[in-house]
Amino acid sequence: MKKYEVSAIKEGTVIDQIASRSTFKVANILNIQGIDQVVLIGYNLSSKKLGSKGIIKIEGKLLTQEEVNKISLIAPDATVNIIKDSEVVEKFKVAIPDSIEEFLKCFNPNCVSNHQNVQSRFHVINKNPIRIRCHYCERHMGEDDIELV
């Protein structure tokens, strides 16, 4: 039997291949403090691909598309595994969408989207490394500028 550094779960979701530094940002996206079920977090685990990775396992949880989109911006290499009866029944890599609406805040304090009741909107101009352009003020944002709301 495979030995896990972080224990297995029976039903739920495993988010793997998170760059270590982004692990707790992903945990925040998933609002794990509000979850009653078992949550297992591995941090600074060795990874051939990333060097050092994080992993989050949540019992009884399926991700929404919005959560997957948010994770893709913070952890573009992450994979999502759906677990049923302790088996992986579905596995996919998060994908950065071509445009992003609503859940990001423009970092430009003078952008109209920060002053008027308007849904923020961004166009993805580069996926790796991530660069997005505000639909309104046209300012570019990179990974460090991204602020989820």
Positions that interact with other proteins (CB under 8 A)? 108, 110-113, 115-118, 125, 131, 133-140
Nearest CB to other proteins, comparing residues 87 and 138:
138
Nearest CB to other proteins, comparing residues 79 and 108:
108
Nearest CB to other proteins, comparing residues 18 and 132:
132
CB 131 → other proteins: shortest distance, Å?
7
Copy the structure tokens of residue 101: 């609406």
CB 118 → other proteins: shortest distance, Å?
6
User: With contact defined as beta carbons under 8 Å apart, do 67 and 29 qualify?
Assistant: yes
| Residues linked to residue 22 through DSSP beta bridges, in sequence order | none
Strands 99-101 vs 140-142: parallel, antiparallel or unpaired: unpaired
- Give ∠ CA 132-77-59 in degrees, rounded to 5: 115
